[in-house]
């Protein structure tokens, strides 16, 4: 069952007198429960596609439908509300708020949800335990290693229980053991929790954890190493 459907998806930027088109007339279907890795050279449009799917950018033309909602038709405020409910974002550089503890960082997206203090506490604790970082709940980001920070970022991404997790080079700043731990965590979220994961990566080794890999170049899909029908429904 298709969760994300892109048709003729195009994104253009104006830079001075030039128009840059990181995504050019792209068609893509992502089934629910997929773990998709996007690869390609710098400037191929991977992150742009990820941002469009996450609802933090809007297409110039074409349609992008996620679970029946055409994101291109949503206003900024509607997109914000949609993101709060449906997407968790994992950044390469973690992007935790430095003055908040790990616990408070994970709690941050729950502010937008109508939950009691106790419900919030339960959810944050569960998310921190799920990523194996509960013992560092009171630590500030500066007191954590890169791998630990990324675990907190993943906990923040899953705490609202979104259907989709997008990850932009989640291991790009990590050493090998930490990268393995983070990828195993994402794989587990995909397999045991049924999260649909779309990940941008430069590292071919991390694609081993994904169910399929797509390659982009100059804003277009150039090859796929796994047929769409192999993805779990």
List the x/- string, 134-163, binding to another protein by CB under 8 A.
Answer: ----------------------x---x---
219 near another protein, judged by CB under 8 A? no
Distance between CA atoms of 191 and 195, rounded to whole angstroms?
7
Among 53, 54, 154, 214, binds another protein (CB under 8 A): 54
The reply on whether position 67 binds another protein by CB under 8 A is no
Residue closer to another protein, measured from CB, 119 or 208: 119
DSSP letters of 63-117?
A: EEEETTEEGGG--HHHHHHHHHHHEEEE-TT----TTS-HHHHHHGGGGGS---H
Nearer to another protein, 104 or 188 (CB): 104
Among 74, 81, 226, 228, binds another protein (CB under 8 A): 81
The reply to whether 80 sits near another protein by the rule CB under 8 A is yes
Q: Is 72 in the site for another protein (CB under 8 A)?
A: no
Q: Applying CB under 8 A, does 109 fall inside the site for another protein? A: yes
User: Per rule CB under 8 A, is residue 83 in the interface with another protein?
Assistant: yes
Q: Segment near another protein (CB under 8 A), from 88-96, 121-129, 172-180, 193-201? A: 88-96
Q: Does 181 bind another protein (CB under 8 A)?
A: no
Contact between 211 and another protein by CB under 8 A: the answer reads: no
Conformation bin of residue 227: beta by default, left when phi > 0, alpha when psi is -120 to 50 = beta
Cβ closer to another protein: 40 or 88?
88
Judged by CB, which is closer to another protein: 216, or 231?
216
Q: Does 222 bind another protein (CB under 8 A)?
A: no
CB contact at 8 A, 57 and 30: no
Number of amino acids touching another protein (CB under 8 A): 26
What is the contact surface with another protein in residues (CB under 8 A)?
Answer: 48, 51, 54, 56-57, 76-77, 80-85, 89, 91, 95, 97, 99-100, 104, 108-109, 111-112, 156, 160
């Amino acid at each position: 069952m298709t969760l994300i459907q892109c048709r003729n998806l195009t994104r253009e930027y104006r830079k001075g007198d030039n128009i840059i088109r990181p995504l050019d007339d792209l068609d893509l279907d992502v089934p629910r429960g997929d773990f998709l890795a996007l690869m390609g050279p710098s400037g191929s449009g991977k992150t742009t596609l990820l941002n469009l799917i996450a609802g933090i950018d809007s297409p110039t033309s074409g349609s992008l439908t996620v679970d029946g909602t055409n994101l291109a038709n949503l206003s900024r405020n509607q997109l914000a509300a949609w993101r709060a409910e449906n997407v968790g974002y994992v950044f390469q550089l973690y992007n935790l708020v430095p003055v908040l503890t790990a616990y408070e960082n994970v709690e941050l997206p729950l502010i937008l949800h109508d939950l009691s203090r106790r419900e919030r506490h339960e959810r944050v604790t569960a998310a921190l335990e799920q990523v194996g970082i509960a013992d560092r709940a009171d630590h500030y980001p500066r007191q954590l290693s890169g791998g630990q920070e990324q675990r907190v970022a993943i906990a923040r991404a899953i705490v609202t229980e979104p259907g989709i997790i997008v990850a932009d080079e989640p291991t790009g700043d990590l050493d090998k053991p930490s990268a393995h731990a983070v990828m195993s965590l994402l794989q587990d979220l995909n397999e045991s929790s049924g999260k649909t994961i779309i990940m941008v990566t430069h590292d071919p080794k991390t694609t081993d954890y994904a169910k399929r890999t797509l390659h982009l170049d100059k804003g277009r899909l150039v090859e796929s190493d796994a047929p769409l029908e192999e993805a779990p429904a």
